[in-house]
Amino acid sequence: MTDLLSTAHAVAASLLAAEAGGQGAAPAGGAPANPMSGIWPLLPIVVIMIAFFWFTSRSQKKRERKRQEMLSAIKPKDDVTTIGGIFGRVVQVKDDAFVLRVDDEKDVKITVSKQAVSRKVGEPEPE
């Protein structure tokens, strides 16, 4: 009977060790398992997340730089479109705003923030 119990105990112990995959279990030498062994499976996910955020921020900075170049290149007599869909011709450039003429017949002018200008008319839409 004890032979049967010791065999059953040995089989159960080997099954438990196989299910655990060796994680958290002490190696054969009796030394404790490496505490960093649980972090290694997460490493690829962390690397992918870092790469994703790096590429996203890089492309966003590139778009912002192109937009700033476009805004600084706008001068009087350029036709522009605002983010609200208003078409107008730049009459005056201020520090942080443009004065647009939106109706030539009635000489209607509006002042809009530089950030409100979407694009110059005749140039392709920014991507």
Alpha-carbon distance of 73 to 117, in angstroms, equals 12
Buried b (16+ CB within 10 A) or exposed e, 70-92: bbeebeeebbbbbeeeeebbbee
Give yes or no: residues 69 and 82 share one domain.
Answer: no
Q: What is the pLDDT of residues 35-72, one digit of tens each?
A: 667 778 888 899 999 999 998 899 899 999 999 999 99
Ramachandran assignment for 102, one of left (phi > 0), alpha (psi -120 to 50 degrees), beta (any other): alpha
Closest CA to 114 of 93, 97, 102: 97
Q: What is the pLDDT of residues 70-106, one digit of tens each?
A: 999 999 999 999 999 999 999 999 999 999 999 989 9
Tell me, yes or no, whether 84 lies in a domain.
yes
Closest CA to 112 of 77, 94, 75, 104: 94
Domain that holds residue 61: 34-73
Give yes or no: residues 114 and 80 share one domain.
Answer: yes
For residue 2, pLDDT over 60 is answered with no
Give the pLDDT of residue 39: 79
Tell me, yes or no, whether 21 lies in a domain.
no
Domain of 97, CATH number, reads: 2.30.30
**pLDDT band, residue 33 (cuts 50/70/90):** low
> How many domains is the chain built from?
2
Count Cβ atoms below 10 Å from residue 110 Cβ, excluding itself: 15
Name the domain boundary from 57, 73, 89: 73
Tell me, yes or no, whether 57 lies in a domain.
yes
Give yes or no: residues 93 and 68 share one domain.
Answer: no
For residue 24, pLDDT over 60 is answered with no
Alpha-carbon distance of 16 to 74, in angstroms, equals 72
Give yes or no: residues 47 and 81 share one domain.
Answer: no
For residue 27, pLDDT over 60 is answered with no
Residue 93 · residue 103 · CB < 8 Å: no
